[in-house]
Amino acid sequence: MFHKGLNKEIIVDAAKELIEQDGFPAFSMRRLAEKLNIKTASLYAHIESMDALFTEIGLTALRAQRDCLLNAVGEKHGDTAVAALAESFRLFAAEHPELYRLIMQMPSSDDTVLKEAAAMTAEPFMRVLSDYRLSETQKMHWQRVLRGLMHGFVSEEQAGYFTHYPVSVDESYQIAVRCMIDGLHREEGETDAR
């Protein structure tokens, strides 16, 4: 039975809120129904299964991260764009830790829709790398390098590994970003020398 005003988008948004609030392991359809003040069975008039709901949540999370990164880059170019991308990547992970964890698990999931959609995470990186004198192959390598370094830093930070020394984590991240930018310029120089 359809409830007036209830639709798939509202259900997905409510599920996303629950996951962000309590974590993915605590999520259940029963808790989602309680949040929406409906019976659990009523959810299935709009969502065919829990797996289908998770697919929708995953797609929403991927789009949210991609849009966050692209908006941060905006009209910036070159090193300024890389720095903006790096900052927004870390900020998204800090503000949406559960969605970020979900995004990082997508490529290894059994959900083929999410596996294929996970490729959109490369889009903001390829956009930024288009400002550098790199071949298409180099850009593909470097989007992996940038994502890997940013994710590595973020995951270490979220796990609490950066609490042992009395120095600024923000400053450490700025150093990491400078290293990435320096590496890009070295790669350009090597490309020019060939």
**Percent of the chain predicted with pLDDT > 70:** 95
Average pLDDT of the residues in 20-42 = 90
pLDDT at 21 over 80: yes
Tell me the pLDDT tens digit for each residue of 139-183. 999 999 999 999 999 999 999 999 988 999 999 999 999 999 999
The pTM score is 0.86
Higher pLDDT, 90 or 112: 90
pLDDT at 4 over 70: no
Q: What is the pLDDT of residue 193?
A: 65
- Band of pLDDT at residue 106, cut at 50, 70 and 90: confident
Q: What is the pLDDT of residue 45?
A: 85
- Band of pLDDT at residue 110, cut at 50, 70 and 90: confident
Residue 87, φ and ψ in degrees, nearest 5: -65, -45
Tell me the pLDDT tens digit for each residue of 43-52. 888 888 888 8
Q: What is the pLDDT of residue 2?
A: 47
Residue by residue, what is the 3-state secondary structure of the chain? CCCCCCCHHHHHHHHHHHHHHHCHHHCCHHHHHHHHCCCHHHHCCCCCCHHHHHHHHHHHHHHHHHHHHHHHHCCCCHHHHHHHHHHHHHHHHHHCHHHHHHHHHHHHCCCHHHHHHHHHHHHHHHHHHCCCCCCHHHHHHHHHHHHHHHHHHHHHHHHCCCCCCCCCHHHHHHHHHHHHHHHHHHHHHHHHHC
Domains of the chain, CATH where assigned: 1-47 (1.10.10.60), 62-193 (1.10.357.10)
- Band of pLDDT at residue 102, cut at 50, 70 and 90: confident
Tell me the pLDDT tens digit for each residue of 47-74. 888 888 888 888 899 999 999 999 999 9
